[in-house]
Chain A
Amino acid sequence: MSLQMDELKTQHYDDKTVVHFLWATLFWGVIAFVVGLLAALQLSYWGFNLNLEWLTFGRVRPLHTNAAIFAFAGNAIFAGIYHSTQRLCRVRMFSDALSKIHFWGWQLIIVSAAITLPLGFSQSKEYAELEWPIDIAITLVWVVFAINFFMTLKNRKEKHMYVALWFYIATIITVAVLHIFNSIEIPVGYLNSYPVYAGIQDALVQWWYGHNAVAFFLTTPFLGLMYYYIPKAANRPVYSYKLSIIHFWALIFIYIWAGPHHLLNTALPDWAQTLGVVFSVMLWAPSWGGMINGILTLRGAWDLLRTDPIIKFLITAVTFYGMSTFEGPLLSIKAVSSLGHYTDWIVAHVHGGTLGWNGFLVFGMIYYLVPKLYQTDLYSKKLATLHFWIGLAGILIYYLSMWAAGITQGLMWRAINEAGQLVYPDFVETVTAIVPLYWVRALGGTLYIIGTIIMLYNLRQTVKASKGLREEKVTAPLTERKKNDHEDKGHRKLEGMMVTFSILSFIAIAVGSAIEIIPILTVNDYAKYEKVIEPFSPLEIAGRDIYIREGCYTCHSQMIRKLDFDVLRFGKASTIEESMYDRPFQWGSKRTGPDLARVGKKYPHLWHYKHMENPRSTVAGSIMPNYPWLLDKKTDFYSLRRKIYVLKSLGVPYADEVVKNADKVAEEQAKIIADELRAQGVNDDKLEQKEVVALIAYLQELGQKPLIRNINLEK
C-alpha cells in the first residue's frame, strides 16, 4: 500500500512548497523594501528615527539588509530551486516533510530576526548580526534543505545534472561552510555572545563571510536560476554549455579569495590585501562569461525584449549583474577603494546588484512561475511592463544619486589645500552636502516599491482568475539514468556523479578559504610580540556592548586607513594591536558619521552626554538620531562578571580580581564619570547607573589604551 502511495506521489511535482516560498518572497520583499525606505528617510531627515530606540537607523539598517538578503532573496532562491530542481531531475522532491520543515523553519528564523534586531540583539557583524540561538536554527534548517536537495539529486531520473544544479550544489555547500565558521561564538546570555575571533582575525573571517554571502547567497543560486529560467522564458537553450562549465569552475574557485578587498588600506597586512585585489580583478572574466552566456541565450529572439515583460526583467537583471561585477573589481583596486570605501558609492554598488540583479531576476521568475503554476495567463502584460519601467527608473535614480553622493563625499574627504590642510575639516559639512541626494535616493526606493505593489495586484488578479494550483505530472527524462552508467568519461562523467562533483566543489572553495584564513588564525604560532594593548575595563565593555546594540558600526568606522587624508582628519593610522581584543571587531564599513578610532579624550564627558541626548546641540547639521533612552536606562552591571570571565577565557589578559569583581570595578568607574558630569551641571542622582555613562566610558578610551607587557610571553 505504502509503495503504491509513494509511486503516486512521485508522479507529480511538489509545487505547493514552491508556491509557499513564492508568496513568502513577496510578503517579506515588501517589508524589506519598506524598511529600506524608512532607513533612507532617516538619513534624509533625522526626525524619521522618531526617538524610538527600536526604530533608530542603527537597528533598522541590519533589519533591512537581513530582510532583503535572507527573507526576500532567500525565499526566492528556495522557490526557484524547489521548482527547477524537480523538473531538472524529473522527480518529486525527496521528502514533503523536509520541505515543510524547511519552509516553516526559515520563516521562523525570519520572524526571530524581525523581533531581535529592532530590540538590539546583534553581533554587529554585517549580514551575520543574528545571535547564537538563531545561528543554530539557521544551521539546522540549512541541513534539512541540504538533505532534501541532495537526496532529490540522488533519486533523479535524468542522467545528466544540468548546469543550474551545479550552482545550487556550490551554494548549499559554501553557505554552510561560511555560516558555521563565521558564527563560532561563546554565549554570554540567552541572546548575547562574543565571537571566538578578535580584531584582525574577526575582520578577515567576517569579510571572508560577508563577501561570500554576496557570492554564494546572492550570486551562485541566482546564476543557477538564470541558467534555468532564461532558457525557459525565451524557449531556447542556453547560448553555450561549454562556457557554462568554464564559468562555473572559475567562478566558485576565484570568488572565495576576494574577501580582503573589503579591508583595503586598513591595518590588514599588505599581502592579504594584495591577494584580495588580484583575485577580485580576476573575477571579471568568469562573471562576464556568465553574463554573456545569459544574454546571448536570447540570440535569434531579440524581439522578445520588446514584447515580453518576463524577458525584459530577466535580461535587465543579467545586465545589472554584468555592471555590478564590473564595478566590484573596479572598487577592489586600492586607489579606487581609497575614494569609494566608507562612502555611498558602495551603497550604490550594492543596490545595483540587489535591486537590479537579484530583484529583477526574482520578479521575472515570479511573472514566469505564477501563471504556469496556476495554469492561466498573466492578468496584464501591460501592468508587468509598467512595473518593469517604474522599477528600472527607481533603480537608476537610486544608483545615480548614491554614486554622486559617494564620489562627492569621497572627494571632499580627500581634498587638501596648498598648505597641506583639509579643505573640509568638519566631517559634518561632507554629510550635509549630500543630504539632498539622500532625498533623491528615497524617491528611487519609493518607485521600486510602487512597482512591486503593481506586481502584487497583477499577481492577485492572475490567481483570482485561475483554476487553482496545477498538479503537474513528472516528465520523462531526456536521457534516463541507469544505476550502472559507466560509459561516460571526463567532465561528462563527473556531471552525473553527485557526490564526487560536490566534493570537488567543496575543494574549490576550500583552497582559497584555507590559504586566506589559516595564516591569520594561527598568527600566534609565529608572531612573538612583547607588548599588547591594555584591555577595556568592565564598564567600558558594558559601554561597548551598548555601542554594538545601538548599531553604531552602521555609521561609524573604527579604522583610520593608511591614507594621508584619513590621518590628517582622524589621527595616526590604526594598528592591529589597537583592536586585538575587540570581540566583535568594530572597523565598520560606512562613514555616515566620522571615524571613532581616536575619539577618546577628544571631547569632555559632558559633550558626549549632550551629544547622545541631542546630537544637534553639539554638532549643527548632524543627522544622527537622538538617544534619550541612554539617559534613562540602567547599565547591566550584573552580567559583567560572566562577560569578563568569557573574555578572559578567550585570551584577554584580565586579572582574576577584575573577573571576580567586574560589577564592582565597573560601578566604581561609573561613579567617577557620573561625579564629573554632575560637577559640569548634569542633574541626575542616579547617573552612575545609567547607560550613557558606560557608553561615555567606552568612547573616551577609544585610541587611548596604552601598550602593556605581554604576560603570556612570561609563561
Chain B
Amino acid sequence: MKKEALSAFTNPDMILIGFLLFFFCFLGVLLWTVIVADKNYFSKVKMIPLTDNDKGAKK
C-alpha cells in the first residue's frame, strides 16, 4: 500500500547528507566568523547604514 510504503521510507542517506552539509557549512561559517574574521573590518562595515545623510534618534 502507498501509505505503508511511505511510512517505511526513511531515506536516511539523503537526510544525513543534508544534515551533514548544513552542519559543516554552519561550523565553517561559525569558526570563520568567530576566529578568523577581522574584527576591525566588521566594526567598519556595520557603520554603512549610519554613514549616509540621514541621522536617526538624537540623545
Contact = CB atoms under 8 A, between A and B. Distances in A.
Interface string A508-520: 1001100100011
Contact of A253 (B25, B32, B44, B45): B25
Nearest to A576: B3
A698 interface: no
Nearest to B26: A250
Nearest to B39: A242
Given A491-B33, A492-B41, A271 B9 contact: yes
Contacts of A281: none
Contacts of B17: 515
Given A237-B46, A253-B25, A492-B41, A528 B52 contact: no
A478 B48 CA distance: 6
B49 to A, nearest CB: 5
Q: Is the interface of A mostly helix, strand, loop or mixed?
A: helix
A523 B6 contact: yes
Contacts of A520: 6
A194 interface: no
Interface in A220-240: 228, 231-238
B15 A245 contact: no
Contact of A490 (B7, B30, B37): B37
A478 B57 contact: no
Interface string B26-37: 100110111011
A470 B48 CA distance: 21
A386 B30 CA distance: 43
A160 interface: yes
Interface residues of A, number: 65
Q: Is the interface of B mostly helix, strand, loop or mixed?
A: helix
A515 B48 contact: no
Using C-beta atoms within 8 Å of the partner chain, give the interface range for chain B: 35 or more
A577 B18 contact: no
Given A479-B44, A519-B11, A301 B49 contact: no
Contact of A491 (B6, B9, B29, B54): B29
Interface stretch (A304-312, A352-360, A590-598, A668-676): A304-312
Interface in A566-591: 575-577, 580
A254 B25 CA distance: 12
A232 B15 contact: no
A388 B50 CA distance: 26
A492 to B, nearest CB: 6
B33 A232 contact: no
Most buried by A among B9, B15, B21, B57: B57
B42 A528 contact: no
A620 to B, nearest CB: 38
A576 B2 contact: yes
B30 A523 contact: no
Contact of B48 (A158, A242, A253, A271): A158
A523 B2 CA distance: 8
Given A232-B50, A271-B11, 14 more contacts: A88-B48, A162-B45, A162-B49, A231-B46, A235-B55, A236-B50, A237-B47, A242-B33, A250-B26, A253-B25, A304-B57, A475-B52, A519-B11, A580-B2
Interface of A: 84, 87-88, 90, 158, 160, 162, 164, 200, 228, 231-238, 241-242, 245-246, 249-250, 253-254, 267, 269-271, 275, 301, 303-304, 308, 310-311, 368, 372, 472-473, 475, 478-479, 490-492, 495, 508, 511-512, 515, 519-520, 523, 526-531, 575-577, 580
Question: Which are the 9 A-B pairs with shortest beta-carbon distances?
Answer: A527-B5, A235-B56, A241-B42, A475-B52, A269-B6, A237-B46, A576-B3, A241-B46, A515-B18
